[in-house]
A and B are shown apart, each in its own frame.
Chain A
Amino acid sequence: AQSVSQHNHHVILSEAASLELGCNYSYGGTVNLFWYVQYPGQHLQLLLKYFSGDPLVKGIKGFEAEFIKSKFSFNLRKPSVQWSDTAEYFCAVSLNRDDKIIFGKGTRLHILP
């Protein structure tokens, strides 16, 4: 069955540190990949998505992600985090032939001021 793994459950960083959150999926076909963010007390919002083309995807708020097909990975990066990036981040995958998205279990990011 299709699944999504996020390696880090909880990450704590200081402001200005670089961020990389891991995401791996287990499906060999054509996939669409997403990163969503959930700020405290809020609903999920899309950060970025990949479905074709350039494997390096840029999203909102300075985030980017790289799709590496050979590694089944879609890691999220940000060169310099801010306190306002404190949130929970979810990786998600869908198949082209499917109508639903599978979410990872999330990574809680805490930025120290």
Chain B
Amino acid sequence: NAGVTQTPKFRVLKTGQSMTLLCAQDMNHEYMYWYRQDPGMGLRLIHYSVGEGTTAKGEVPDGYNVSRLKKQNFLLGLESAAPSQTSVYFCASTRPKIYNEQFFGPGTRLTVL
């Protein structure tokens, strides 16, 4: 099993550009999450999904959109990138019941100039 994979690994954008980050998991997990990690801020939840076709806002959803058209994929979109969105983005997945372990992807380092 590959676990949780993320593409791309690195990306540089100019302010105002758009992009989509892809997260894929092969563990048949129901729940998937997008976090951003910034120095001194820990991980902050952007959006999450508890099943195919469902999404919900997390702690810092502004400026991001998500879609979960297939159970194994969770896409994070930036419609108009801003320098404040420079960060490392992690995707995670887990089985239902929140006491289960979250499995994390390797991360995407995004720089917005």
Contact = CB atoms under 8 A, between A and B. Distances in A.
Interface size of B as a range: 20 to 34
A45 B31 contact: no
Interface in A71-113: 90, 94-96, 98-106
Interface string B72-113: 000000000000000000101000001101101111000000
Given A44-B104, A100-B45, 5 more contacts: A44-B43, A44-B102, A46-B102, A100-B48, A100-B98
A14 B107 CA distance: 30
Contacts, number: 53
Contact of A105 (B40, B50, B101, B106): B40
A101 B102 contact: yes
A69 interface: no
**Contact residue range for chain A?**
20 to 34
Contacts of B48: 99-100
A29 B45 CA distance: 21
Contacts of B50: 99
Interface of B: 31, 33, 35, 40-45, 48, 50, 56, 58, 90, 92, 98-99, 101-102, 104-107
Contacts of A42: 106
B56 to A, nearest CB: 8
B41 A99 contact: no
Nearest to A52: B99
Nearest to B44: A103
Question: Which of B35, B99, B104 is the most central at the interface, judged by chain A CB atoms within 10 Å of its CB?
Answer: B99
Given A100-B33, A100-B48, A100-B58, A45 B99 contact: no
A106 B88 CA distance: 15
A61 interface: no
Contact of B42 (A34, A49, A104): A104
